[in-house]
Amino acid sequence: MTITLELSPDEEARLREKAASHGQNVSDYLKSMAERDAADAEQDAFVAAQHRAMIEAPVFVPGSEVIEKAVREAGGDYTPLGRGIREMLSRTPEQVREARAPSGYRPPAPARSRQAKPFST
């Protein structure tokens, strides 16, 4: 592909300087910029597709066989893992969407460190 650009003398000089600072001529420099931009666009499309897949992932129905089997395999409701699996898989679709929505993210509150009481005599 051949591309023609209309640049002012100042823009052309800055472009030549920029290309030289990267050890390239103007043509190679512009080509590398176009390739990098195309790769970024592919990455952006991949990330967007992954995000859509995460948002649209199926939600399990509370009490379903899938949940019961996962809890049993984790040792039942008597183990922390089993309780955690039940809790995670028993969320409503609204709770899942809220948890997955980046705008709804709230970082956890910082842990309070216990201050030692001053020693008094």
**What is the tens place of the pLDDT at every residue in 18-49?**
999 999 999 999 888 888 887 777 777 777 77
Instruction: Identify whether residues 24 and 47 lie together within a single domain.
Output: yes
Reported as a single tens digit per residue, the pLDDT across 58-77 is: 655 556 777 777 777 877 77
Structural domain includes residue 89: yes
- What is the pTM (predicted TM-score) of this model? 0.39
Structural domain includes residue 14: no
- In this predicted structure, what is the pLDDT of residue 17? 93
| Locus of tokens 């970024």 | 40
| Number of domains into which the chain is organized | 2
Distance CA 71, CA 81 (A): 8
Structural domain includes residue 70: yes
Is the distance from CB of 7 to CB of 15 less than 8 angstroms?
yes
Instruction: Identify whether residues 73 and 44 lie together within a single domain.
Output: no
Instruction: Give me the domain span that covers residue 95.
Output: 65-102
Q: In the structure, what pLDDT confidence band is assigned to residue 78 with cuts at 50, 70 and 90?
A: confident
First-to-last alpha carbon distance for the chain, in angstroms, is: 85
Distance CA 66, CA 22 (A): 56
Structural domain includes residue 30: yes
Structural domain includes residue 42: yes
Instruction: Identify whether residues 71 and 98 lie together within a single domain.
Output: yes
Instruction: Identify whether residues 73 and 50 lie together within a single domain.
Output: no
Identity of the residue numbered 69: K
Is the distance from CB of 98 to CB of 104 less than 8 angstroms?
yes
